[in-house]
Amino acid sequence: MSEPLVLARRGAYHDSVTLMRVSRALSELPGVTAAMVAMGTDLNVSILRDMGFDVPAAGPSDLLIAVRAADADAAVAEADRLLAGTHGAESSAAEQPPLTTRSAAARDAANLVLVSTPGEYAFFEALDAVEAGLPVMIFSDGVTVAQERRLKELAEAKDVLVMGPDCGTAAIGGAGLGFANVLSPGPVGVVAASGTGAQQVTSLLDWAGVGVSHVLGVGGRDLSAEVGGLSTRRALRMLDDDPASELIVLVSKPPSPGVAREVAAERLRTPVVHALLGTSGGDLTTAAEQVLRVLGRAVPEWPSWPAAPGSRPAAKALKGLYAGGTLCAESALLAGSGDFVDFGDDTYTRGRAHPMIDPALRVEALSRAVETDVVLMDVVLGHGADPDPAAALAPAIARTPATVVVALVGTEGDPQDLHRQAAAFREAGASVFVSNAQAARHARSLM
């Protein structure tokens, strides 16, 4: 019989990605019927109560460990073991940790601040970093447009870069931040108002043997009329001054047309390839191919693994089940019609792991697909993502009566083993492409 147990650890902070991974690991243990490890924010407390837990008084800086299991004490012990392998911020008698971002940066001589806190607190931590004259990557979402504009105006005055908010991907001198593929060093610098868009372009370049110098994420709203491309223009100037960057790629979801024109008017010495969805009818694969031609490189045939031929009824509906917002937008533009859902949108990630980490929502969506559906979906590899996405998604694909097409975004150096993932999805009955644009066109051809 399962027993519920909820513990509150005072002042024991861990970042949300770590807690999502620990929660998932506990949920998969034998005898565990429910588990959640999270900070004691109002949202998380509400979710735990909805799960049927009796939650003790806790604040947003307190850690909650909630399990329902045949042996709850053993599950909590496993949670402690998993958390012990991470860099939490628990106080100790030997050393009082810094209490502010500014004091931590001063103590550790930091040159970059990464903010991954609940959204309502992210703005103040990022503001602390910018006021200290440090560049900041804001992994968190939940920062308002007005706060984002204020941060980026202050960053302009302080001569630093704000990456984000909701910046999921960056790579600085080969060091990946957030969701990051394994990339070789090379001559291409990337400015990205899109995390998965940057991952698609850089992964394709990697397939063609071309590496990157830096990937500077700026947040998906940076090229909106409200924000005005402030971080995009600063990032472009930074890469223009970088001797390792011989060519720059600007990647974005559909931008504000006026802001896109202003950004295009920036006077730079370094050539820029624009991969702005919705502005010229192009796609991310076409942009990667343009980069290769500018560099004088051959454009390869992008790998694909078609499903085994077989009979099926006439398709009636195209459904997109996406983890990446830009990949979802690209497919919707190329498909022309269909029902496309971005499960990475804030609507779906409140209180739960991003779908690049947790496949549960898409597994459920696959179970609802019918024989006359064509399902188009992305699987994004790299550090920070699910260590084995095929483990959950491939069986769900095999069970669904729908026809499935997978865009597998990643490199041969990624820890998930791209070829093993592709084989698993193909064996489950899916057609697999490393180009999301080619996957979308193939799905459209099946209609």
Residue 275's nearest CA partner among 226, 324, 330 is 330
Predicted TM-score (pTM) of the model is 0.85
**Taken in order 177, 180, 185, 191, is the CA torsion positive or negative?**
negative
What single-letter amino acid sits at 410? G
Give dist(CA 216, CA 161) in Å, integer. 9
10 Å CB burial of residue 308 (0-12, 13-18, 19+) is exposed
pLDDT of 174: 87
Give dist(CA 245, CA 278) in Å, integer. 26
Q: How far is CA 176 from the centre of its chain?
A: 12
Work out the widest C-alpha separation in the chain, in whole angstroms.
Answer: 69
Residue 41's nearest CA partner among 68, 67, 21, 13 is 13
Compute φ and ψ for 185, nearest 5 degrees.
Answer: -65, 150
Q: Render 319-387 in DSSP notation, one character per residue.
A: EEEES-HHHHHHHHHHH-SSEEEETTSHHHHTTS--TTT--HHHHHHHHH--TTEEEEEEEE-SBTS-S
Taking 70 as the pLDDT cut, the residues of the chain under it are 1, 86-96, 280-281, 351
Which two structure tokens, joined as six digits, stand for 298? 């051959």
Which helix or strand (DSSP H or E) is residue 200 part of? helix 195-207
Residue 200 near residue 277 (C-beta atoms within 8 A): no
Residue 114's nearest CA partner among 143, 151, 139 is 139
pLDDT tens digits for range 119-153 = 788 999 999 999 999 999 999 888 999 999 999 99
Q: Torsion-angle region of residue 116: left (phi > 0), alpha (psi -120 to 50) or beta?
A: beta
Compute φ and ψ for 18, nearest 5 degrees.
Answer: -60, -45
Residue 110's nearest CA partner among 139, 87, 133, 140 is 133
Domains of the chain: 3-84 (3.30.70), 101-294 (3.40.50.261), 304-445 (3.40.50.261)
Return the ∠ at Cα 53 (arms to 47 and 57), rounded to 5°. Answer: 80
What single-letter amino acid sits at 409? V
Residue 140 near residue 113 (C-beta atoms within 8 A): no
pLDDT of 16: 73
Q: Which residues pair with 432 in a beta bridge?
A: 305, 406
pLDDT tens digits for range 213-238 = 999 999 999 999 999 999 999 999 99
Looking at the chain, the number of H-run helices and the number of E-run strands are 16, 18
Q: How far is CA 119 from the centre of its chain?
A: 16
